[in-house]
């Protein structure tokens, strides 16, 4: 899929994920969602607050931002902020490990109500998590130094390659990189990007938008391959733990698609990819 094609994909996604959730009472205008602070039937970790777990930084999805109400911004966080606003809730962001978000431990321990951290929806994760409707289609990609001579995965034989632990990027590298490539698992992009800059690894294999951000900010690095893995991100929740909140988030997402505010937010982050 080309980068331009993802805008078309998102438009199709908006048309195909319009689940009928009117009975769930999730929006701020619902009979059960009013009251002081909103969300009175959502069984939140903190009443009146949507507490979101995210692994930061992961630009352009999650970044620290002192000017934002929650102290964080990025596509995921801005989308979560819009959802919280529609539910008349305050948004609080907890910076936690990605493994805690994708494994379900962050919800079981009461750290957060929802995970917003570019979490790909997979069958394996659905065994431990509930997911919202998909809100973003992604590709994997390979980022290298422009003068590295590396043009594809095949050129990584015997070379150290950075991947993020417990992610679909790591799984893709394990399945498709040369058998003798040295895959080094890092906690997140905050560790992988400096490792590439320092020459500790020769490439990063991870989600395209994150690698694209690095390539745009530093022309010494380029993306040499993209991999279409049919991945979609969803907001994550503890398994069977809060169906009311899940329904409310899906309803808020659908409302944003219908009124155009989702597309405006999407374009503000990704239209330059076209």
pLDDT band at 169 (very low <50, low <70, confident <90, very high): very high
Q: Which fold is adopted by the domain 139-229?
A: D-Maltodextrin-Binding Protein; domain 2 (3.40.190)
CA 262 – CA 18 distance, rounded (Å): 14
CA 94 – CA 38 distance, rounded (Å): 20
CA 75 – CA 30 distance, rounded (Å): 26
What is the mean predicted confidence (pLDDT) over 86-93? Answer: 98
**Within a 10 A sphere around the Cβ of 175, how many other Cβ atoms?**
7
φ, ψ dihedrals at 50, nearest 5°: -95, 110
CA 21 – CA 205 distance, rounded (Å): 37
Q: Where are the alpha helices (DSSP H) in 184-224?
A: 189-197, 208-217
In this structure, which CATH number among 3.40.50.460, 3.40.190.10, 3.30.70.20, 3.30.70.1880 belongs to the domain 3-135+234-273? Answer: 3.40.190.10
Q: Where are the alpha helices (DSSP H) in 17-127?
A: 75-86, 98-103, 105-108, 123-126
pLDDT band at 38 (very low <50, low <70, confident <90, very high): low
Q: Which residues contact 96 (CB under 8 A, 6 or more apart)?
A: 53, 54, 55, 106, 111, 112
**pLDDT for the residue numbered 1:** 34
Q: Locate CATH 3.40.190.10 in the chain.
A: 3-135+234-273, 139-229
pLDDT band at 40 (very low <50, low <70, confident <90, very high): low
pTM (2 d.p.): 0.79
Comparing 24-38, 94-108, 242-256, which segment has the lowest mean pLDDT? 24-38
- Flag whether pLDDT at 46 surpasses 80: yes
- Report which secondary-structure segment, H or E, holds 173: helix 168-176
Query: Where on the phi/psi map is residue 166: left (φ > 0), alpha (ψ -120 to 50), or beta?
Result: left
Six-digit token pair at 17?
A: 């994920």
Classify residue 28 by burial, with Cβ atoms within 10 Å: 0-12, 13-18, 19+.
middle
- Flag whether pLDDT at 3 surpasses 90: no
Classify residue 55 by burial, with Cβ atoms within 10 Å: 0-12, 13-18, 19+.
buried
* Contact indicator for 105, 129 with CB cutoff of 8 Å: no
- Flag whether pLDDT at 56 surpasses 90: yes
**pLDDT for the residue numbered 41:** 86
- Flag whether pLDDT at 26 surpasses 50: no
């Amino acid at each position: 899929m080309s980068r331009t094609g993802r805008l078309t994909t998102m438009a199709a996604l908006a048309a195909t994920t319009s689940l009928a959730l009117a009975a769930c009472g999730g929006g701020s205008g619902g009979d059960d969602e009013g009251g002081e602070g909103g969300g009175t039937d959502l069984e939140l970790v903190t009443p009146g607050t949507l507490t979101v777990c995210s692994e930061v930084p992961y630009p352009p999805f999650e970044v620290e931002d002192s000017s934002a109400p929650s102290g964080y911004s990025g596509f995921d966080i801005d989308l979560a902020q819009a959802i919280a606003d529609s539910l008349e809730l305050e948004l609080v962001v907890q910076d936690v490990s990605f493994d805690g978000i994708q494994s379900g431990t962050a919800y079981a321990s009461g750290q957060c109500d929802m995970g917003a951290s570019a979490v790909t929806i997979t069958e394996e994760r659905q065994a431990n998590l509930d997911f919202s409707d998909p809100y973003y289609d992604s590709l994997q990609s390979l980022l290298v130094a422009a003068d590295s001579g590396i043009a594809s995965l095949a050129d990584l034989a015997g070379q150290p390659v950075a991947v993020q632990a417990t992610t679909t990027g790591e799984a893709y590298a394990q399945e498709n990189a040369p058998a003798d490539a040295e895959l080094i698992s890092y906690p997140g992009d905050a560790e992988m990007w400096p490792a590439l800059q320092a020459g500790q690894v020769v490439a990063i294999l991870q989600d395209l938008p994150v690698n694209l951000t690095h390539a745009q900010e530093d022309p010494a690095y380029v993306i040499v391959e993209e991999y279409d893995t049919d991945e979609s991100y969803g907001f994550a929740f503890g398994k069977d733990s809060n169906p009311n909140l899940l329904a409310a988030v899906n309803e808020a997402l659908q409302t944003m698609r219908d009124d155009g505010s989702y597309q405006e937010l999407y374009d503000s982050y990704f239209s330059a990819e076209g």
